[in-house]
Amino acid sequence: MKEKLLAIEAALDSEIALVADNEGIEALRVKYLGKKGELTAILRSMGSLSAEERPVMGKLVNEVRASIEAKIGAKKEILAQEGLAKKLLDEAIDVTAPASIRTLGSRHPIAAVTEELENIFIGMGFDVADGPEVEYDYYNFEALNTPEGHPARDAQDTFYINSKVLLRSQTSTVQVRTMEKQKPPIRIISPGRVYRSDAVDATHSPMFHQMEGLVVDKGITMGDLKGTLELFAKTLFGEDTRIRFRPHHFPFTEPSAEVDISCFMCGGKGCSLCKKEGWIEILGAGMVHPNVLRGCGIDPEEYSGFAFGMGIERIVMKKYGITDMRLLYENDVRFLKQFN
């Protein structure tokens, strides 16, 4: 029986060396120490021993059991430590690995320039007003002294929702909406989207952006308009910039003008940017027509005003030397990220 006990312990020694995980060690525990295990079998057979042999063998069985328990316990401990070491290794952060690059977006050039324009006029005391893009024919044409059948409507052919409602073709609508709500003095700008049924090409889009300006007060003159636009042009394009007024016609201003700035690339000598003209047209402007003031309940005998409207894409394109307007709407990141 003693030999049998020693053989069991020796067998355990060789088996335990091969165990590599918790399941393996648990199987060994059951095999050697469990109810149906080898030691239990020996304990059961002790009844056949003599009264002298029994306590001696009992002591030996207990010693072997304790030794086996200790060996299994020690192996468990080793396995736990190996597991922890492996986990630490697996979860370690390799600080030398290259970082994953997060690309930051950038502001769209139209949004950036719009904000720049706004800031220039806010600095001169203007408020920023807003108006709807889906608009009544009344605000887009009628109240701007452009009744049905007026030839100026053709040039701004837009998208009609029905005979009275359309997508606005100009931000000038906000002039009327502002004057209806607010008594002079009025000093507002209003940037936003406008629509025209134009086919897409390098300089046209059925949707583009404009910024309107309106000043109404007592004693406002063309001199105020000129001074305001000159300061605007110098702030945006540089101190040496000059402006030029060319007579023009808009139904809602009288007199009306188209306004050019001296080319900021060549200073007026003529280059590819200004198409050898020396001047770049940037906006339309004029003194608010008495009919428009009257229609909004403002007495043209008491008040006068000036207005102007500019295309934002045009300014963006000139400023950054962009020759194809479509680039502004394609949202190709290779194009957009240049404006970071």
Nearest distance from C-beta of residue 214 to ligand DAH, angstroms: 7
Residues 237-296 contacting ligand DAH, CB under 6 A = 250, 253, 284-286
Nearest distance from C-beta of residue 105 to ligand DAH, angstroms: 31
Give me 328's structure tokens.
Answer: 């502004």
Q: Which one of the spans 68-76, 99-107, 228-236, 307-315 is the region binding ligand DAH (CB under 6 A)? A: 307-315
Nearest distance from C-beta of residue 286 to ligand DAH, angstroms: 4
Q: Which is nearer to ligand DAH, 136 or 250 (CB)?
A: 250
Per CB under 6 A, does 312 bind ligand DAH?
Answer: no
Nearest distance from C-beta of residue 93 to ligand DAH, angstroms: 59
Q: Which is nearer to ligand DAH, 191 or 309 (CB)?
A: 309
- x-marked contacts with ligand DAH along 196-215 as a string, rule CB under 6 A: ----------------x---
Q: Which is nearer to ligand DAH, 208 or 264 (CB)?
A: 208
Q: Which is nearer to ligand DAH, 39 or 282 (CB)?
A: 282
Q: Which is nearer to ligand DAH, 34 or 290 (CB)?
A: 290
Q: Which is nearer to ligand DAH, 268 or 286 (CB)?
A: 286
Nearest distance from C-beta of residue 152 to ligand DAH, angstroms: 9
Per CB under 6 A, does 228 bind ligand DAH?
Answer: no
For ligand DAH, the binding residues (CB under 6 A) are 170, 172, 212, 250, 253, 284-286, 307-309
